[in-house]
Structure formats: structure tokens, C-alpha cells
Amino acid sequence: MSVGAACDAYAQTNVTIYGIVDAAIVYSSNQGGKSNIYERSGNLAGSRLGFRGNEDLGGGLSALFVLENGFNVDDGSLGAANTLFNRQSYVGLNSNAGGSLTVGRQYTPYYLFVGPVGPTSSLTGATGAHPGDIDGLDTTIRINNSLTYTSPVFGGAQVSAQYGFGETAGSTGTGNAFSVGLKYDINDFKFALGYLKLKNGANLSAGWSSTAAGSFSTSVINKGYLSAESVQFIAGGARYKIGQLELGVNASNVQYEPGLGSLFSNTATFNTGGVLATYQLTQALFVSGGYSYTKEKKANGITDPAKYQQLALEQTYSLSKRTALYALEAYQYAKGKTVGAAGGASQVNAVAVVGDSQNGTPSGGRNQTVLMAGIRHSF
């Protein structure tokens, strides 16, 4: 739904109200050692309500804003406690010739550029994100107090850079964030690279600070490294379309870097590689599948580092442009060891955690299967 109002002879303001309502019945084979059947919100796409505005200022310049709230359909709660516009809240200017400059709570260039060629745009983050969303290629990383510049598109290429202010008096580098992204789209080929660096607050032993400009997805995969001084993400992906078939590859490197006060002593590194394929069988029926392999490097006394293999499938049937029925299936197998939540020498067995839908309910062992059947409506 959109509303337009002419402010004067030269300016036109448009405000659009939009959203997604998504819910599914879910089966998980193992949540802490027991199977479960339950309802879950935001599987094919996160449930949300948003407001998007644009005002033409003349001469190719416009003002813009986005306010977007995430919510849970199953119980009506906010997607993040005590945060109304937890998904996005920013305002800025856009020039047709010079690009855009925005300020507020925003996604990173790392995600906005690499995400569309990564796994979650075709396989859904709930079951298709790399284990625990370890590399942040789903919508789990947003930066507060951020300033973002995005260039116009030149010959299919575009760049973007972002800085998130730590806002700590006397130590402006504490808790800040920085990200850059590059993408290149031409005909049926898409390619993107992204970089993101998040810094923690001052008290590292307390875990990741809630006052830092950016946070990330946490699960049993990375709980031993939340006392990191900083986290670095590097990722890239490419896709190529042949008729109704699209093939893709993606890779990422994530490093948890310790500092004085961290509960672990060596840099913890996770490398992930993935492949995917999508096919538009009919105008209404879309199918996709993907495989990923994540491996932790030897460090912090671990000689048999954690490894995670994941297979994810999706089938979506569109009843209309706005309404779709979907089914999702995923299986993950984990082995090896990683550092436990206590850090240091606390080694624990790696356990399965499919996508980012099971971060709070990981398997009690090496295997986890998740099946979903749901409906998504957008407006």
C-alpha cells in the first residue's frame, strides 16, 4: 500500500507500507536429544512490517527512509525484545549521479552484496544458511549508529562502504564496525565480494558486548569465542543462469581474534564452501538445493577440529504474486570438537545445528534433520 502527496510544484513524497507474514509447522529430529513438532515464524522469509519513504528533491536528488520491524507470527511478539524497528531504521539522501548516503541501523555491504549470491536467497536462512549462520550471510547482522555510502551502478559494477560508530568516549575504536562490498552483474552472471570487521566492547571476558555497534548470530558452533576482541568476515559468491536453471558457488572465512581478557588464546577460524542450484519448473513451482561444508582450523588445543556438512532443499509453489506455499528439508552432520562456552581448554563435541533456525535448540548429538511446511504472504 502506498500514499503519495505533492508537497509543492517540484517535490513528490511517497510512503509505502509493506510486509511479510510467514509461518510453518516444523519437525526437528533432535533438540537437546528429543524430537519436536512446533510452529515457527519467518522461515521462507522473516515476518516483518515496514515503512519506506522517498521524496523527490529535484535535480536527481531524493530523500529516503526505511523503518522495518520484525515480529513472530506464532505469538505476536517483537522479533527483538524492547526494539521496535529491529530489522532496519535509517534515513538518507540518494543522488542519481553520486550514489546514496544513509545513517541509522542498517544491513552491511558485506551482506547486501554477497547475500543475494549466497545460499539464503535461494534456500532460505531457516534451513539453508550455513551452520548457525556462522558467516552472517543470512539477515542476522545489522549495524547500529552506522553511516553507509553506496555508489551508482557503473557498467554492472557497484561498491559500498559502511562505518559503525562505537560511541565510547575516549576510545572511539571500541565497539565499532567496518564493512565494504563489491558486486558485478552482467547478463546471466553475478559476482560479489564482501568484508566485515566487528569490534567488541572493553570487558572481553563478559562475552560480546550489547553496546557494540554490531553483533552476530550465536550458537553452539561459536559460543566458545564470544569473548573475542574482534570478528572478521570475508565472503564471496557467484551465480550463472542458464535458462530456468541457476548454478552458484560461495565461500567464506570467519576469524574470532582474541585480546587481553578473552577466554581463548589463539585466533579461531571457520572456513565454509558451498554449492547450490535452483530451477523454475513452472511459472508457479520453484525448487532449489544446496550443500555446504564448514571446518574449524586447529587452534586453542583442539587437534580434531569441528566439521559440519549440511544438505538443504526447498520447494515453493506460488498461488499468486503475493502468496506461496512452501516445504523445506535439511540435514546436518557434525563431527570433531570445538571450544565450549567456558572458553579456554573446555573442549566439547561438535553438535548439529541446521541453518539458523535451530541456534537456540541444537541437536544433542552429531545429526539433526529439520522439515518445514508453511505459507508466506507479502503485502
DSSP string, 178-210: EEEEEEEEETTEEEEEEEEEEE--S-GGG-S-T
Residue 296 within any structural domain of the chain: yes
Residue with cell 581474534: 257
Number of domains in the chain: 1
Instruction: Please state, in angstroms and as integers, the Cα–Cα distance from residue 99 to each residue in 3, 92, 95, 106, 111, following that order.
Output: 25, 11, 5, 16, 19
Whether 82 maps to a domain, the answer reads no
Asked if the structure places residue 76 within a domain, the reply is no
Question: Does any domain span residue 55?
Answer: no
Q: Which three cell numbers stand for residue 244?
A: 530456468
Note the pLDDT of residue 81: 87
Establish if 62 belongs to a structural domain. Answer: no
Residue 343: the pLDDT is 84
Contact criterion met (CB below 8 Å) for 142 and 66? no
Q: What is the pLDDT of residue 19?
A: 98
Residue 6 within a domain: no
pLDDT recorded at residue 11: 59
Domain that holds residue 249: 22-49+89-378
Query: For residue 68, is it within any domain?
Result: no
104 part of a folded domain: yes
The total of other beta-carbon atoms located within 10 Å of residue 4's CB is 10
Domain CATH code at residue 235: 2.40.160.10
Residues lower than pLDDT 50 in the chain: 5-10
Residues 119-161 have pLDDT tens digits of 999 999 899 999 999 999 999 999 999 999 999 999 999 999 9
